[in-house]
Amino acid sequence: MTSGAGTGTTISGAKVLITGVTSEVAKPVALALAKENEVYGAARWRDAATREPFESAGVKPVFLDVVKGQLEDLPEKVDYVAHFAVVKSGKWSVDLDGNVHGLALLMERFADAKAFLHCSTSAVYEPHPHTEAHEDSPLGDNHRAYYLETYSICKIAAEAVARHGALRYNLPTTIARLNVPYGDGGGWPMFHLALMEAGQEVAVHEVAPNTFQPIHTDDIVAMVPKLLEVADVPPTTVNWAGDERVSVEEWTAYLGELTGLTPKLAVSEHSIASGKVSLDRMHELVGHTSVHWRDGMRRMVEAMRPDLIKR
């Protein structure tokens, strides 16, 4: 690694594997790293057309099925692994195989890598609305109410596997608990905008305001090299979120200002309680985010639905 802008760290001249590369979070990471590295983008690649933008940017598509444990197409050796793949089928056997066993296979396969980044989630924390979650706060079944019965538990189990892999193989690892990612490729706020356009309700928790810390993909891209640099044994566990705390109520109102659409907020048992996290460790180890949430969300709408922007 070399020093650079942003968080002060960049990666160049390395061989990097990025899993779940077609997702809105991992794609910009792969495209950015491919400018100065040999990047392998791992996914199932069901649609051949999705390969073109990656190949044009220099990313090498490779097949990976974490559920079935199919790793044969992956390179024999890499310097860094950034594991973003996630399985959310709602079926316990499938999701445990993909998120837990699949991670175990990856860490075994690349046990000699310089560093391994496992992208976890702040959904591993036990729900306590408006209580700031630190990295050692209690874990719990956070997302069951939001039609994601397997999600939090699989993510907690995956963190246990990441700890085991780091210790078992002496593999420097970072477990990064991502809050609300969004960017020019979409995210949860974009889903809310789609509900607004359709005239449907946006579910909110009864304990208002529903506060989170959205992080733009520009900041995600900038922070990945540093997250790999601070990897350690036992793993470095760190919250990964935007510096600004913003509520669903605030960002849907702002999306309404941009588009003229009116958000219909409705208290629902099928909602996610506020997810505020402490960023003291992130600031110390990785740095601060730079994209203001209003700027980022305007860019998101301009990129994905410019026709909705009020003129």
Peptide bond connecting 234 to the previous residue in cis, omega within 30 degrees of 0: yes
Sole residue written with tokens 């449907």: 200
For residue 24, being part of any structural domain is answered with: yes
Contact 64, 73 (CB under 8 A): yes
Domain total of the chain: 1
Q: CA distances (Å), 278 to each of 140, 179, 238, in order? A: 17, 11, 9
How far is residue 23's CA from residue 132's CA, in Å, rounded to a whole number?
28
Predicted pLDDT of residue 35: 97
For residue 50, being part of any structural domain is answered with: yes
Q: What is the DSSP letter of 48?
A: G
Q: What is the DSSP letter of 2?
A: B
Domain span including residue 73: 15-184+215-245+275-290
- The CATH number of the domain holding residue 118 is 3.40.50.720
Predicted pLDDT of residue 160: 98
Chunked mean pLDDT (size 10), the chain, 311 residues: 58 97 97 98 91 96 97 97 96 97 98 98 93 96 86 97 98 98 97 97 95 98 98 98 98 97 94 94 98 98 95 69
For residue 204, being part of any structural domain is answered with: no
For residue 226, being part of any structural domain is answered with: yes
For residue 207, being part of any structural domain is answered with: no
Predicted pLDDT of residue 142: 87
Contact 29, 42 (CB under 8 A): no
For residue 74, being part of any structural domain is answered with: yes
* pTM of full prediction above 0.85: yes
Q: What is the DSSP letter of 70?
A: B
Predicted pLDDT of residue 6: 46
How far is residue 254's CA from residue 226's CA, in Å, rounded to a whole number?
32
